[in-house]
Structure 1
């Protein structure tokens, strides 16, 4: 591995998602180099992760129609959202993120039709479920109808602009607390 070619051949660039393959107890900072040496031909990995804040919990203020994303006691993001309309109110209480889906399909509960995934689907580009009651899921999702932000118009879910829910998706993980008040 002394030649430029062999060094290049054994150097890999990883994204933050691929770094999870190294194990939960591996701490890696931006542009760190990892040498994997327990194999016949050691390889070098350059990790190009982004230093981003991760959420510790989420709070939804129904009166304000805003979502607050916290890292410990500090608000790191806030989003204007649409909430459940009268008769379909967003449930209040303490929940946790239970499911996360990129480009989700939506099955219409009234006629069973499935809408294709994408930015114009009823769920937008991301789905982050935090409640399930009587077989019905409630969560954050995107919408093409950005004009609905700040209004009570959904069937219980928390609608977000597609770009906002994509950003939130990157900040949260399964199991983090969601408080709806």
Structure 2
């Protein structure tokens, strides 16, 4: 009877040891499987992080850490590339001012370099008192000029009714007579052949021309 019990106990111990070994193997397999699963889950995230980092370096966007969502690299933060703005290049006229008088169409043209920046109508010399043609330079600039009649020598004082208007811009003289641009209170004569050789302009126009030219500005008068 004792031998039977001892045999039973021995079988029970063997079964218990075998069961314990199997349970250990199952537990180890489960732990290993869980670890591999976690590793597999982390790998795509790391790849994505590398891709995002590479893209950040390429585009200049600041890199963000996937762990705490903070900026990894301050240099990247402050080197964000923006879309370059297309600068609108204006092409303002450049170069010296010059004035051309075209007697045929009775206009004064102001050029800066090769660009026309202004054009004004003008009266020109009448028959027998033709405006001289050629190349000249501005040699006089007078505000509110007086005028002496070339035939009667009568002097007209400056003022709103002065035949020379509000400004005088001279470019020719023979020592006694003078020819230049000047204003006029009578706008009806602008654009006609009416003067004693001068170029009569509206007061508003001669004020502008006075600002545009300086002493020495070239003046070309042509037919």
| TM-score of Structure 1 vs Structure 2, range by shorter chain | 0.5 to 0.7
- Answering whether residue 219 of structure 2 is matched by residue 178 of structure 1, we say yes
**1:117 — aligned with what?**
158
Q: Distance in 2 between matches of 1:118 and 1:147?
A: 19
TM-score, normalising length: structure 1? 0.68
SS of structure 2 residue aligned to 1:167: helix
One of 146, 163, 178 as aligned partner of 2:204:
163
- Counterpart in 1 of 2:15? none
Describe the SS at the equivalent of 1:163: helix
* Moved >3 Å (runs of 4+): none
8 Å CA contact 2:95, 2:113 repeated in 1: no
Q: TM-score, normalised by structure 2?
A: 0.55
Match of 1:152 in 2: 193
Shift of 1:54: 9.0
Q: State which structure, 1 or 2, has the greater radius of gyration over its C-alpha atoms.
A: 2
Q: CA RMSD in A?
A: 1.6
- Contact 2:145/2:158 (CA < 8 Å) preserved in 1? yes
Query: How many angstroms apart in 2 are the aligned matches of 1:104 and 1:87?
Result: 25
Aligned length: 129
Bigger fraction of residues in helix:
2
The structure with higher relative contact order (CA 8 Å, sep 6+) is 1
Q: Which has the higher strand share?
A: 1
CA distance in 1, matches of 2:147, 2:132: 20
What pairs up with 1:51-90 in 2 under 5 angstroms? 56-90=97-131
Point out where structure 2 has 5 or more consecutive residues left out of the alignment.
1-93
List gaps (5 residues or longer) in structure 1. Answer: 1-52
| 2:177 aligned partner | 136
Asked if the contact 1:54–1:171 (Cα under 8 Å) also holds between the matched residues in 2, the reply is no
Supply the distance in 1 between the matched residues of 2:106 and 2:165 (Cα, whole angstroms). 19
SS in 1 for 2:205: helix
Matched, 1:108 2:149: yes
* Preserved CA contact (<8 Å) 1:54 1:172: no
Q: Does 1:127 align with 2:163?
A: no
Q: How many angstroms apart in 2 are the aligned matches of 1:155 and 1:114? A: 15
